[in-house]
Chains A and B, each alone.
Chain A
Amino acid sequence: MSMFSSLSPVARYIRASRMVAVCVLLLLLVALAALAGPLLNPNDYITTDFANRFGQPTMTNLHFFGTDELGRDLFSRTLLGAQVTLFVAVIASVVSLGIGVIYGAAAGFIGGKVDAIMMRAVDALYALPFVFLVILLMVAFERNFLLIFVAIGAINWLDMARIVRGQTISLKHREFVDAARLIGVSTPGIIFRHIMPNLFGVVVVYMTLTIPQAILVESFLSFLGLGVQEPQTSLGALVSNGVSHMERAPWLLIIPASVLAFILFCFNFLGDGLRDVVDPKKKA
């Protein structure tokens, strides 16, 4: 359910579009900080300083977020983690858009046996135990940063393919598709000009909702120690590390966890707001 369902459509549209604007702005700020921050910050993420282990957040030496158990600057490491997290978000959206939408639309529109075979393949991929798959990949190909993205990408388009297929099936029986056939539009023309634009709303909304999932999966894998390896880091890895020191230096847990939560919130609210905004019927 949408958050604003009790409001009139117009009021809902205005509120939702404001929320979307705010979320996009906040996410852009996070991205900017993650990319440009390390360039401006004198402390890098890799230099250890044993004299200053578990340093509290302080303005001196510009350790805004304090330092970790090896004396590394947590601010730089958090920004690095955010970079990885946003990178995961990009990968997730590219894969689910690129593979998921085309795969789903093709299966739905062609229908029949082709559809059955394509969707059973999706079911088969769903059935693989994910963590087990990741561990197998790690064993087979050694620990590799990219493998995580391959694994996340591989599961991420499945949901999108299913959603898009369902939408396509309901769209292809609509009268405007018949009308398009009558005026002579070819099948690819119908898929690209008539089906795809009407999928846009669902796809955008669903994408903003799968991104947090992908981010969480990466964090989960890093938390288990299967993800990004030292000295590289991600927000999940930072949280995992923070947990083991949370009595002595709670900021090691609280700060990365807050940043992670903030990013997730932004994506979730963005999805919720977009759901109301992209529906053309709700515009006044």
Chain B
Amino acid sequence: MSLLEINELTIRYADTPEPVVKGLTLAVERGESIGIVGESGSGKTQSAMAIMGLLPANAQVSGTVHFDGTELTGAADHVLNQYRACRIAMVFQDPRTALNPYVRIGKQLRRILLEHKICGRAEANVRTLDMLNKVGLSDPERQFRAFPHELSGGMRQRVMIGAALIGEPDLLVADEPTTALDVTVQAQILSLVRRLHAETNSALLLITHDLGVVAGNCERVVVMDRGRLVEEGMTRGVFRDPASEKTRALLLAAPHIDSIVMSEPVSADTGPVLEIEDIAVSFKERRSKGGRSLHAVKPMSFSLQERETVAVVGESGSGKTSLARAILGLLPADGGQVCFLGKTLPAHIGARKNTVRRNLQMVFQDPLASLNPAMSVREIVMEPLRIHERGKKKAGLNNDVAVMLASVGLDPGLAGRYPHELSGGQAQRVAIARSLILKPKVLICDEAVAALDGTVQLEILKLLLAEQERSGLSLVFITHDLAVVRQISHRVLVMYMGRLCEIAKNESLFTRPRHPYAKALLSSVPVLDPDARPVDLPLAGEASSMLSPPTGCLFHPRCQHAVAACSESVPELIDCDGSLVACHRAAELDLGY
């Protein structure tokens, strides 16, 4: 008998016409690792919730879920509670919301043991410390007494995994456990999950939209589409030879590092559209009278050609967004200047002329947050024209909006809708339409596709490239997703803690990274090939505090190639076969990828 047998599971809500999960049948053996992949809305999370008995009260469930011979659907809470944590445990997507902010980490973990009467208080303390140690937290004694807010996102997710495993469950359900995390942290967490899965012999059900994550971590894979299981099989077989149309589409859309480069080469004779010179951003820490300041972006320079795409990559907190906002004048820069077509721009957007403003536009990460919820799609896309093309007739404006909507692939009939009535992809298209309607010269995309599904992501990228081809638009593409960078950029800026590590051509960065941090980023990306050996812990530890940065090269505490000089002086950007690299050992290291 299998550990978990799901039979004809159907989940339906009264206010949706279609069931969200339709007749799912799946068996999980002891010690097995299964990946469930699918786009958002494919019913993968709903299925996991059904196993845990966590569906909302208005969900109608039919079919059976047998766990170790016991029926779980429709079971009373006190019955389910005996299974939760000790037999089945779950790790959620967002580690920030899954921990109680008022209770110390150690107590939260210990409570699981005490609640289920697994052991006494003294032993619980020992086992909790042991678990914190196992999930790779340095100084577990101190973390035991820490509150959740004192830990970083990656550390919190480690704690969550510890909390899930402390009851020694037979089945661990991980729902997008690394989606909210940086690639380097994702690599750490996945390697931890792999190790613990092997050590404890618990079965693993890994739910994700990222096929790369499944490839390296699961023996079997289940593909879901609109509530149905469309394909099931050994990971290698499914990846090599997908049987269903949907799997093929997902594999094709999944951005991966060896994706085809989609961008056309830039012609060399065009002058720079945008020149950034020594721009810097800092934030004053409040309340401290001495005024320690946090240098979010340390002085850096680069330029952007016409029709060129420059990608900016780095972990969260590396200053990518601050850089973009400073260029646009939304955030006052401390120093340096931004030159547009040879003219220096005022630091604050309020002081910039409208003729300049219309040429520098931005697309934000969260499409819903960047659209005014009280305005219709038509009003949103028309607003820029009302400001910059006064005097134009209403009918003409309406027509322009319809043409623009069509050109970003939206049905002009959507013009009367409000943002909350749109899907994520549609909303992002509206945001793009709003920024492109002024025909800007430069478009800055801040994680513009990060919140979207693979196939939608690909469509949006194609749309931006088509626009670039048509109008000569220059793109600054801020992202943490190196696969996207590979697909669309001409040049790449790698940032670490607010400083430039490397500026390289797309090709040379991905074939021969020069900076150890760039190399670490590259090797953290999950590979779509099930046979590729996952690199264990390519980058250990976490970035230092921005308030007390290390001396010399900011990366040296985590760098395996660091020498004495690295902690003594800040490396300058030096030319290395066409790449600009800020590393003392750039010339001697060979980091070929």
Give A residues with C-beta under 8 Å from B.
8, 10-11, 174-176, 178-185, 187, 189, 193-194, 197-198, 200, 280-281, 283-284
Contact = CB atoms under 8 A, between A and B. Distances in A.
A184 B372 CA distance: 15
Nearest to B353: A184
A181 B383 contact: no
Given A8-B58, A280-B418, A280-B420, A182 B362 contact: yes
Interface in B426-452: 431, 434-435, 438
Contacts of B328: 182
A280 B419 CA distance: 10
Contacts of B156: none
Contact of B15 (A194, A281, A284): A284
B364 interface: yes
B374 A175 contact: no
A197 B14 contact: no
Interface residues of B, number: 34
Contacts of B194: none
B374 A280 contact: yes
Contact of A179 (B354, B357, B362, B418): B362
Given A176-B370, A280-B420, A183 B15 contact: no
A198 B387 contact: no
Given A8-B58, A281-B420, A180 B358 contact: no
A179 B364 contact: yes
Given A179-B362, A179-B431, A280-B418, 11 more contacts: A11-B15, A175-B369, A176-B371, A181-B330, A181-B349, A181-B350, A183-B384, A184-B384, A194-B372, A280-B374, A281-B420
Interface in B363-400: 364, 366, 369-375, 383-384, 387-388
Contacts of B362: 178-179, 182
Interface string B291-334: 00000000000000000000000000000000001001010000
A8 B15 contact: yes
Contacts of B374: 194, 197-198, 200, 280
A121 B308 CA distance: 54
Nearest to A10: B15
B517 to A, nearest CB: 29
B357 A184 contact: yes
Contacts of B420: 280-281, 283
Nearest to B373: A280
User: 9 smallest A-B Cβ distances: which pairs?
Assistant: A197-B374, A175-B370, A183-B384, A175-B369, A176-B372, A175-B364, A184-B387, A184-B357, A179-B370
B361 interface: yes
B357 A183 contact: yes
A25 to B, nearest CB: 27
B572 to A, nearest CB: 34
B218 interface: no
In terms of DSSP, what is the predominant structure of the interface of chain A?
Answer: helix
Contacts of A284: 15
A41 B389 CA distance: 61
A162 to B, nearest CB: 22
Interface of B: 13-15, 58, 325, 328, 330, 349-350, 354, 357-358, 360-362, 364, 366, 369-375, 383-384, 387-388, 418, 420, 431, 434-435, 438
A38 B164 CA distance: 72
B388 A184 contact: yes
Given A8-B14, A280-B418, A182 B360 contact: yes
B366 A175 contact: yes
A11 B431 CA distance: 31
B229 to A, nearest CB: 27
Q: Which of B360, B387, B438 has the most chain A CB within a 10 Å cutoff?
A: B387
Contacts of A11: 15
Contacts of B354: 184
A146 B454 CA distance: 66
Contact of B364 (A178, A193, A194, A198): A178
B355 to A, nearest CB: 10
Given A175-B366, A280-B420, A281-B420, A183 B434 contact: yes
A182 B372 contact: no
A29 B375 CA distance: 34
B388 A182 contact: no
Contacts of B360: 182
Contacts of A182: 328, 330, 349, 357, 360-362, 435
A184 B418 CA distance: 22
A280 B376 CA distance: 12
Contacts of A280: 373-374, 418, 420
A283 B419 CA distance: 12
Contacts of B383: 180, 183, 185, 193
Nearest to B331: A178
Contacts of A175: 364, 366, 369-370
Nearest to A190: B372
B107 to A, nearest CB: 29
Contacts of A200: 374
